[in-house]
Structure 1
């Protein structure tokens, strides 16, 4: 720690490097990845990994949180740059599908270690708030039916993640089908 109580810049760089490497390795190889392998690939000592993440579970939790935070950041950026609610929702859902398709091993590791692939903690709260904002916006501009809730969006996201992760169908088509059910009814 620096005198001001903040982590040193090199410690923050090491932590970020460990997280990035762990995410890539877990995405590629799933739950078989060991802490020592992450340390070697990140170019740090195993003690550095354990200093930041005292257990394998802590590392997987941090990787999961980082993954969800990146999905949220993507969604927020889309929402700020595009006023078309349908396009924002579509882009957000596509990003979720892509992440789960490209990181199947990571999803498996998260589920194995944490017992669920659902977001936890603060990032979960922020994702739900973002979803609520999109739902309100969609209702206001006529993109979504008046009875659509954030729980409906959460259910669609969970189903989309499962379809994409398990390769049990065309997740792009799933998004189209889901939107058909969200449209305003006459």
Structure 2
């Protein structure tokens, strides 16, 4: 059995440049951005775009997965190392900040996935859920988190923060302040 070839260095750089450019343009302009505009801004031809991402939805999905991987990395490096009992709050505030800063990207992800909220999928979801589970367990041991809090509860809170940001129906940080009291042990 042959082993898969490693991508050429220039192909890898082109893919990275496409992801970076798409992320920037989608964050700025949301769902209005089309593939030719991304290709031009990245300095590549449409053939290069299609070799890496056969459809616009594939490119947006790759950008979404990249964003979720970065959130998971933040959770591992900043939330699991936060002072005991502060990990979940740090995680939720970080996610809220990411969503608030990249509203155009969030809208494009939701549109491409045809679903509001657009949470992570596959292996990325499993990795993120594992680290969130560790954060929850650590905060519980510190006595700052109610014992019945679950990863699904965290997704629900992120969904509420996302909806608040998306609809402009209030201050997401205020929402988080109010819900934080409900997460404390009784």
For normalisation by structure 2, the TM-score amounts to 0.92
Quote the Cα distance in structure 1 between the aligned partners of 2:106 and 2:55.
Answer: 18
CA contact (8 A) 2:80 2:134 kept: no
From the superposition, tell whether residues 182 and 125 of structure 1 become closer, same or farther in structure 2 (CA, over 3 Å): same
CA contact (8 A) 1:60 1:113 kept: yes
Q: How big is the alpha-carbon RMSD for the aligned residues of Structure 1 and Structure 2?
A: 1.5
Deviation at 1:23, TM superposition (A): 0.8
Alignment-derived partner of residue 146 in structure 1: 147
Q: Is 1:25 aligned to residue 19 of structure 2?
A: no
From the superposition, tell whether residues 146 and 69 of structure 1 become closer, same or farther in structure 2 (CA, over 3 Å): same
Alignment-derived partner of residue 92 in structure 2: 93
Q: How many equivalent pairs are there?
A: 182
- Unmatched runs of 5 consecutive residues or more in structure 2: none
Quote the Cα distance in structure 2 between the aligned partners of 1:100 and 1:177.
Answer: 19
Query: Post-superposition, which runs of at least 4 consecutive aligned residues in structure 1 deviate over 6 A?
Result: none
Alignment-derived partner of residue 5 in structure 2: 5
- Unmatched runs of 5 consecutive residues or more in structure 1: none
Deviation at 1:48, TM superposition (A): 0.8
CA contact (8 A) 1:101 1:167 kept: no
Alignment-derived partner of residue 169 in structure 2: 168
